[in-house]
Amino acid sequence: MEKTNTSGLARTKSDQSVVETVAAAFKSPTSSEAVGAAENGGALSRKSSRRLMVASPGRTSSIGKNTHIRKSRSAQMKFDFDEVGSGAALSRASSASLGFSFSFTGFTMPPDEIADSKLFSDDDIPEDLEAGTRKLKYQAEPTLPIYLKFTDVTYKVILKGMRTTEEKDILNGITGSVNPGEVLALMGPSGSGKTTLLNLLGGRVRQPTVGGSITYNDQPYSKFLKSRIGFVTQDDVLFPHLTVKETLTYAALLRLPKTLTKEQKEKRAVDVIFELGLERCQDTMIGGSFVRGVSGGERKRVSIGNEIIINPSLLFLDEPTSGLDSTTALRTIQMLHDIAEAGKTVVTTIHQPSSRLFHKFDKLILLGKGSLLYFGKASDAMVYFSSIGCSPLIAMNPAEFLLDLANGNLNDVSTETRNGKPSPTVVHEYLVEAYETRVAETEKKKLMVPIPLDEEVKSKVSSPKRQWGASWSEQYCILFWRGIKERRHDYFSWLRITQVLSTAIILGLLWWQSDSNSQKGLQEQAGLLFFIGVFWGFFPVFTAIFTFPQERAMLSKERAADMYRLSAYFVARTTSDLPLDLILPVLFHVVVYFMAGLRRSAGPFFLSMLTIFLCIVAAQGLGLAIGATLMDLKRATTLASVTVMTFMLAGGFFVKKVPIFVSWIRYLSFNYHTYKLLLKVQYEHITPSINGMRLDNGLTEVCALVAMVFGYRLLAYLSLRRMKLQSGA
Ligand SMILES: Nc1ncnc2c1ncn2[C@@H]1O[C@H](COP(=O)(O)OP(=O)(O)OP(=O)(O)O)[C@@H](O)[C@H]1O
């Protein structure tokens, strides 16, 4: 038995000749040409066959192995390097690939039938859609064609440990292209880098650690593209309390161009609902972990609708079929096919497509551990892998076969060979090298050919100008009402009402008709006033810290699509809560004020109310600032509790004489200013000072609280501006 080189993959001169010949065969347009070329290659070198026997060092002939393998029906595929030289692999590849077109296995649906199949379930589709008159009607509207090319794309992350800093390569030189009218599928095992590549192509990751070139109509990424790109993320980022119709209507109002009227935008949302077969659940809430809503498939369709509503030129989707049954998945991919046919460029990652789905893709990228194992026509993939000696022995789903290969999974071969099987690493290296030597250079050369488009069209994508769908004030109004609708359930939560009312009643009972005429009574009432300030300082801070961390994913997604200006979102988000946030304090105040017998006159009543409002709005500002700065609930709650406690202790009730070097803390405390104002309103007619606190005109306290209202919010806004928008690659 010949001793083999265990790496087995270092190329010799004769390997090179086989490599080039088979690469030429792969490039050939017809499989017969490919077969011929491979046969020539086979004549050129036998040496390569021997070298590649590393895959099964114990075997003496491929025929022997074939016989052996055929004995076992469990054998899934054969990693037959030997036959590269003989060309038999390729000729069998043609038949294998025919097998995968399912004329052989007989379980496939004729392509025409798939094309004609309706998008979603029978009941979901309106009659005119069935008749084909309405099918993705607006998707056929003209849009700017975008040709996407990417060459040698690399990406690494820097992993910071306790002491060391490590670089991890996520993508190693990925090259490919996709044109209008085509669907490019990114396939590969979990962790192979599909999502990362999709994020990079979609312009979601712009970091110095990204290498290579990504162009859109031969131009680099520009802000203009944000409004031409639709990006469906793997996780559906939607508001759980909005209905399907509300979700799509708000997306239409915010994202569609200003040239359309409100009615036209709303109609577009209705069209999308019909086109995606969502009309039956249009008034159902989206739902989430705590609220039951639409089904997973419907939610995915809403996510897709959110993006296709803008009629994008370039549509990216991250695993749009995960969690869907095979029929719904097929319909989803059929829809992508239809969208591409209307002149859009579609790129989608896909985990484990059925064979029917696989045949819907025009182009395919197969990734393995961040390296490119194949780029080309999806229909040529099997021929290519056969040409390099990897072909299945039984009819199987091509996608499954390719994923097994990308995983280096040759399990069944290993059981068949006498001396073990090549390790997944060897298989991976072989596939990477095979691709690099046979195909990569040719593909790169092809990408250097300029796109056949007018210069004007080309340069349009390089425009740095953003395109907003609505003016600032319209964005504000839309976001304001969306915020109210999304949180309508929180506002009238019985839990919250009970919490506030029960506290008010307990306070009212404890200080029942308290007496302010004696010094002791005054002291006791002062305690109540201080507690009111603490309660309305504490409560809003801990409600507000959740605001931005909870909406982070949504904000990132919507900002990445340039749906609105951050300032419009910020103002809308912080004001839409206000009216309802001020209802509960009114209830509280009425109960406590009259039960505790505080100063009975309209002026003090309303002034105390106003003081509480100021305190709430200032405290909310602090909560917003902490939440927006840290964007992490655990850290935010910890910091908030320390801050609120410090402010409370420095509030002037517990300790009056503090060392001079920490006395400034009290001026930062909204509790201190609120307490002083409440005391002034209640007792200025009785005494000029109480509990050692001078009751002056109150202007300083009002100014301090107003400064906090705006200052903390400004801090929150600036923190949000800094927030990275990338979606996690
Ligand atoms: N910021 C990061 N820090 C560390 N590792 C990262 C980072 N981003 C990606 N990775 C790693 O890069 C690899 C590729 O991740 P990616 O999410 O692109 O894979 P994928 O092919 O989409 O996987 P799946 O199919 O499971 O979604 C993974 O091993 C992942 O852990």
CA dihedral 182→183→184→190, nearest 10 degrees, is 180
Same domain, 607 and 710: yes
The residue whose CA has the least distance to atom 12 of ligand 1 is 170
Q: How many residues in the chain?
A: 729
Among 165, 195, 318, name the best residue to mutate to test ligand 1's pocket (greatest count of ligand atoms within 8 A of Cβ): 195
CA distances, 351 to each of 102, 185, 635 (Å) = 21, 10, 35
Q: Which atom of ligand 1 is nearest to the CA of 729?
A: 8
- pLDDT, tens digit (0-9, with 9 covering 90-100), for 158-217: 888 777 888 889 999 999 999 999 999 999 999 999 999 999 999 888 777 888 999 998
HSE on the CB side for 398, CA within 13 Å? 28
The ligand 1 atom nearest the CA atom of 198: 18
Determine the distance separating the centroid of ligand 1 and the alpha carbon of 299, expressed in angstroms. Answer: 24
Which residues does ligand 1 sit against, CB inside 6 Å? 157, 168, 170, 188, 190-196, 351, 729
387, 83 Cβ separation under 8 angstroms:
no
- Which residue, among 510, 683, 512, 690, has the nearest Cα to 599 in the 3D structure? 683
What's the domain count of the chain? 2
Query: Is residue 211 classed as helix, strand or coil in its secondary structure?
Result: strand
Give the span between the Cα atoms of 180 and 339, in whole angstroms: 10
Asked if 487 and 401 sit in the same domain, the reply is no
Q: How far is the CA of 424 from the centre of ligand 1 (A)?
A: 19
Alpha carbon separation from 618 to 386, 604, 706 (Å, rounded) = 69, 21, 7
CA of 190 to the centre of ligand 1 (A): 8
Q: Split the chain (729 residues) into runs of 10 and give each run's mean pLDDT.
A: 36 38 35 36 35 34 37 40 39 34 31 41 40 49 85 90 84 93 94 94 84 90 88 91 95 92 93 89 88 88 92 93 83 88 92 85 93 92 87 82 84 46 83 87 82 74 76 94 85 83 96 86 91 93 91 89 93 86 91 93 94 95 95 93 93 83 88 94 84 82 95 95 58
- Whether residue 102 lies inside any domain: the answer is yes
Residue 449 lies in a domain: no
Token pair, residue 223, equals 């802000």
In contact, 328 and 120? CB cutoff 8 Å: yes
Give the pLDDT of residue 330: 87
Do 497 and 632 lie in one domain? The reply is yes
- My answer on whether 531 and 396 are in the same domain is no
* Torsion of the alpha carbons at 304, 310, 313 and 317, rounded to the nearest 10: -20
CA angle 697, 703, 705 (to 5 degrees): 110
Residue 226 lies in a domain: no
Cα-to-centroid distance, 374 and ligand 1 (Å) = 19
Tell me the sheet residues that pair with 318: 349
Q: How far apart are CA 569 and CA 468, in angstroms?
A: 13
Q: Are 664 and 534 contained in the same domain?
A: yes
In a domain, 624, yes or no: yes
**170 CA to middle of ligand 1, Å?**
7
- Report the nearest-CA residue for atom 26 of ligand 1: 190
In the reported structure, the alpha carbon of residue 194 is separated from the centroid of ligand 1 by a whole-number distance in angstroms of 8
Task: Provide the domain limits for residue 84.
Answer: 13-109+392-438
Which atom of ligand 1 is found nearest the CA of 197?
A: 18
Q: Both 415 and 485 in a single domain?
A: no
Supply the mean pLDDT for the chain: 78
CA–centroid distance, 126 to ligand 1, in Å, is: 40
Same domain for 512 and 405? no
Q: What is the pLDDT of residue 268?
A: 92
Q: How many CB atoms sit inside 10 A of residue 36's CB?
A: 17
Q: Whose CA is nearest to atom 9 of ligand 1?
A: 729
Going by alpha carbons, the residue nearest to atom 3 of ligand 1 is 157
Interface predicted TM-score (ipTM) of this complex, two decimals: 0.96
Report the pLDDT value the prediction gives residue 15, as an integer from 0 to 100. 40
Q: Do 432 and 518 fall within a single domain?
A: no
Same domain, 524 and 653: yes
Which residue's CA lies nearest to atom 5 of ligand 1?
A: 157
H or E, element range at 372: strand 371-377
Residue with CA nearest ligand 1 atom 17: 195
Structure tokens at 523: 């002291």
pTM over 0.90: no
User: How crowded is residue 123: how many other Cβ atoms within 10 Å of its Cβ?
Assistant: 9
CA 414, CA 418: separation in Å to the nearest integer?
A: 8
- Which pLDDT value is given to residue 592? 96
Asked whether residue 146 is assigned to any structural domain, the reply reads no
719, HSE (Cβ side, Cα atoms, 13 Å): 21
274 Cα to the center of ligand 1, angstroms = 35
Between CA 328 and CA 539 the distance in angstroms is: 46
Residue whose CA is closest, atom 7 of ligand 1? 729
Tokens standing for residue 463: 């425009």
Q: Single out the residue of 167, 163, 185, 165 nearest to residue 176, CA to CA.
A: 185
The answer to whether position 649 is within a domain reads yes
Give the model's pLDDT for residue 359: 87
> Which one of 156, 159, 170 would you pick to mutate in the ligand 1 pocket, going by the greatest count of ligand atoms within 8 A of its CB?
170
Structural contact between residues 381 and 374, judged by C-beta atoms closer than 8 angstroms:
yes
Q: How far apart are CA 729 and CA 721, in angstroms?
A: 20
Atom of ligand 1 nearest to the CA of 196: 18
Q: Are strands 314-318 and 229-232 parallel, antiparallel or unpaired?
A: parallel
Q: Which atom of ligand 1 is nearest to the CA of 192?
A: 21
DSSP string, 59-86: -S-HHHHHHHHHH-TT--EEE-THHHHH
Distance of CA 425 from the midpoint of ligand 1 (Å): 19
Asked if 23 and 76 touch (Cβ cutoff 8 Å), the reply is: no
Distance CA 480, CA 498 (A): 27
* Tokens (6 digits) for 581: 């946030």
pLDDT at 210: 86
Domain co-membership, 629 together with 707: yes
SS (H, E, C) 354-371: CHHHHCCCCEEEEEECCE
Q: Which of 155, 174, 194 to mutate to test the pocket of ligand 1 (most atoms within 8 A of CB)?
A: 194
Nearest CA to ligand 1 atom 20: 191
Residues 249 and 99: their CA atoms lie apart, in Å, by: 46
Residue 241 lies in a domain: no
Note whether 693 and 526 are within 8 A (CB).
no
Among 159, 192, 200, 365, residue to substitute to test ligand 1 (most atoms within 8 Å of Cβ): 192
- Alpha carbon distances (Å) from 702 to 525, 564, 676, 686, 707: 22, 34, 10, 21, 9
One domain for residues 545 and 416: no
Inter-CA distances, 173 with 199, 211, 366, 679, Å? 15, 8, 13, 70
Joined tokens for residue 611: 């003081």
Statement to judge: residues 678 and 603 lie in one domain:
yes
Strands 183-187 and 345-350: parallel
* 617 located within any domain: yes
Of 269, 237, 243, the residue nearest 256 (C-alpha): 269
* Residue 268: alpha-carbon gap to chain centroid: 24
Cα 362 to ligand 1 centre (Å): 25
β partners of residue 689 = 694
